[in-house]
Amino acid sequence: MDIKVLLFDFDGTTLQRDQVFISPRNMHALREAAKKGIICIPCTGRSADMFPPQIEEEKAFRYWVSASGCRIIDRQDNKVIYKGGCFTAEQAAQICRMYEGQHIYSEIAAEGKLYYEKDVNDELYRYPVPPHHVWYVLTGRQIPIEGKLSDFFLEHQMEVEKFNLYGVPEEKQDPFMKQLEFMDFVNFLDGTPLNMQFTSSLLDKVASIQLLLEYLGVTYDNVMSIGDSVGMDGCIIKRSALGIAMGNAPQALKDMAYDVTDDFDKDGFAKAIEKYLL
């Protein structure tokens, strides 16, 4: 196989248990693959603004696929290669009206940044900030929105890549789920009524990655991909020449993969790269 591109997930794949840092062995494997000319591309559901510090600092990782394929950037040329599959401003406003002003911790990904309600952002100590997001909020890079979220996105006609709601109170979970089910433009990702993650139903990760591969002059026959989630990674793993499932992945993903490596906390990511690329 002529592998030229490595697509890799973060959470449950590359990152350690803290979901912030990459182990020395995993980082070494990535750097060695890059030295051999492999184009190493993070491919994740995270907003570009919340990529791990080690990835952000490593200039060798030129291309980023963020928000499950909504936004693909070329860091070297400082340009957006692809943007699509987002909620319209009107759709985003409809979702925001469901929970805004109700003291619920949410992260709204748009234009590669994360937006917060100002009242929530001002008193983060009162909210269930995910442990692996603490480092991010401490940077102060999040953008607080004063007033209604819905008004902001309508006023700026800003498309939204993804919504994350964490710690939804029990009494609001069922009403929220019922409202979202009636919105035919919403697609649920991995999550629960307590911690919700959803993107636009227009998002087509396979198509967005295809555009990136065409931009690079390669095909899925030249791709090795590694991940742990059926919903987030499965569509790419089953199309790649070398689709690798993590040992901690569900059986459904392992069944569609070319091979299965060790668990994420046992450097399974590095072991797969060492086996097939180094």
Q: What's the CATH code of the domain at 252?
A: 3.40.50.1000
Domain finish residue from 177, 200, 223: 200
CA distance linking residue 5 with residue 41, whole number of Å: 7
Distances (CA, A) of 46 to 19, 130, 255: 12, 13, 25
Are both 145 and 191 inside the same structural domain? Answer: yes
**3-state SS of 57-100?**
HCCCCCEEEEHHHCEEEECCCCEEEEECCCECHHHHHHHHHHHC
Are both 217 and 137 inside the same structural domain? Answer: no
Are both 11 and 77 inside the same structural domain? Answer: yes
Q: How many CA atoms lie within 13 A of 123 on its CB side?
A: 6
In sequence order, the 6+-apart residues with CB closer than 8 A to the CB of 122 are: 144
Q: How much is the average pLDDT of 196-218?
A: 94
Are both 103 and 185 inside the same structural domain? Answer: yes
DSSP letter assigned to residue 42: E
User: How much is the pTM?
Assistant: 0.92
Enter the tokens of residue 25.
């062995």
Domain finish residue from 200, 227, 255: 200
CATH number, domain containing residue 134 = 3.30.1240.10
Q: How far is CA 231 from the centre of its chain?
A: 12
**pLDDT computed for residue 190 by the predictor:** 61
Are both 97 and 49 inside the same structural domain? Answer: no
User: Chain-wide mean pLDDT for the chain?
Assistant: 94
**Residue 138 burial by Cβ neighbours in a 10 Å radius (0-12, 13-18, 19+):** exposed
Report how far apart the first and last C-alpha atoms of the chain are (Å, whole number): 13
- Note the pLDDT tens digit of each residue in 85-140: 999 999 999 999 999 999 999 999 999 999 999 999 999 999 999 988 999 999 99
Are both 48 and 143 inside the same structural domain? Answer: no
Are both 18 and 149 inside the same structural domain? Answer: no
- Please provide the DSSP assignment of 90-156 as one string: HHHHHHHHHHTTS--EEEEEETTEEEEEHHHHHTGGGS---GGGHHHHHHT-SEEE-S-HHHHHHHH
**pLDDT computed for residue 224 by the predictor:** 98
Are both 13 and 144 inside the same structural domain? Answer: no
Are both 187 and 224 inside the same structural domain? Answer: no
Domain count across the chain? 2
Cβ–Cβ < 8 Å for 116, 106 = yes
Q: In the structure, what pLDDT confidence band is assigned to residue 191 with cuts at 50, 70 and 90?
A: low
Q: In the structure, what pLDDT confidence band is assigned to residue 171 with cuts at 50, 70 and 90?
A: very high
Are both 195 and 123 inside the same structural domain? Answer: yes
**pLDDT computed for residue 232 by the predictor:** 84
Are both 102 and 184 inside the same structural domain? Answer: yes
Domain finish residue from 200, 230, 261: 200
Are both 129 and 183 inside the same structural domain? Answer: yes
Percent of the chain exceeding pLDDT 70 equals 99
Q: Which of 101, 74, 97, 72 is nearest to 161 (CA)?
A: 72
Domain that holds residue 179: 89-200
Cβ–Cβ < 8 Å for 257, 245 = yes
